């Protein structure tokens, strides 16, 4: 596992939205924006609400890539790792869904019926700064 540097954790906290790339069982790529958080220095997480294709792809091939960037600062990171899907009753699911509801549905109304939580164990981290030319940083 690789540890995310403070700058990346700060970016996830500040920007939230990142692109998640998966590959389906047929080898076709898929990319989808997700609202990310993190559980610790080695684990990204998001609540998946409407992405049946993304979840199917993760079940078939759990290796994923995430790109998060700050367009104003021309800075960002690519994170590669292994995804895992969590459902109701799982401690990680309950923790991340509770955070999601507090942040997006504080009155308890409009909470989606079907949710999954996806965690990504970070294995590699690359810089997306132009001057770094894809340099691996962890």
Q: What is the pLDDT of residues 57-76, one digit of tens each?
A: 999 999 999 999 999 999 99
The mean pLDDT of 26-33, rounded to a whole number, is: 96
Torsions phi, psi for 39 (to 5 deg): -95, -35
What per-residue confidence (pLDDT) applies to 125? 98
Q: Within a domain: residue 124?
A: yes
Give the separation between CA 63 and CA 36, rounded to whole angstroms: 17
Determine the structural domain holding residue 10 and report its residue range. Answer: 6-129
Confidence of residue 130 (pLDDT cuts 50, 70, 90): very high
β-strands 63-70, 75-86 pairing: antiparallel
pLDDT over 70 percentage in the chain: 100
Q: Within a domain: residue 137?
A: no
What is the CATH classification number for the domain harbouring 90?
2.30.110.10
Contacts of 127 (CB under 8 A, 6+ apart): 76, 77, 78, 134, 135, 137
Q: Within a domain: residue 1?
A: no
Q: Within a domain: residue 138?
A: no
Residue 50 pLDDT > 90? no
Query: Which of 19-23, 43-47, 112-116 has the lowest average pLDDT?
Result: 112-116
Residue 34 pLDDT > 90? yes
What per-residue confidence (pLDDT) applies to 109? 94
76 vs 51, more confident: 76
Mean pLDDT of the chain: 96
Number of domains in the chain: 1
Confidence of residue 21 (pLDDT cuts 50, 70, 90): very high
Residue 90 pLDDT > 90? yes
Q: Within a domain: residue 106?
A: yes
Residue 112 pLDDT > 90? yes
């Amino acid at each position: 596992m690789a540890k995310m540097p403070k700058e990346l954790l700060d970016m996830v906290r500040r920007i939230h939205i990142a692109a998640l790339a998966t590959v389906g069982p047929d080898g076709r790529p898929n990319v989808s924006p997700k609202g990310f958080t993190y559980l610790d220095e080695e684990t990204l997480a998001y609540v998946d609400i409407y992405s049946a294709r993304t979840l199917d792809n993760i079940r078939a091939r759990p290796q994923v890539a995430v790109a998060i960037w700050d367009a104003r600062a021309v800075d960002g990171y690519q994170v590669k790792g292994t995804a895992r899907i969590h459902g109701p009753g799982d401690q990680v699911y309950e923790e991340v869904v509770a955070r999601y509801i507090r942040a997006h549905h504080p009155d308890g109304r409009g909470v989606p019926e079907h949710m999954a939580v996806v965690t990504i164990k970070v294995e590699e981290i690359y810089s997306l700064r132009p001057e770094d030319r894809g340099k691996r940083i962890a």
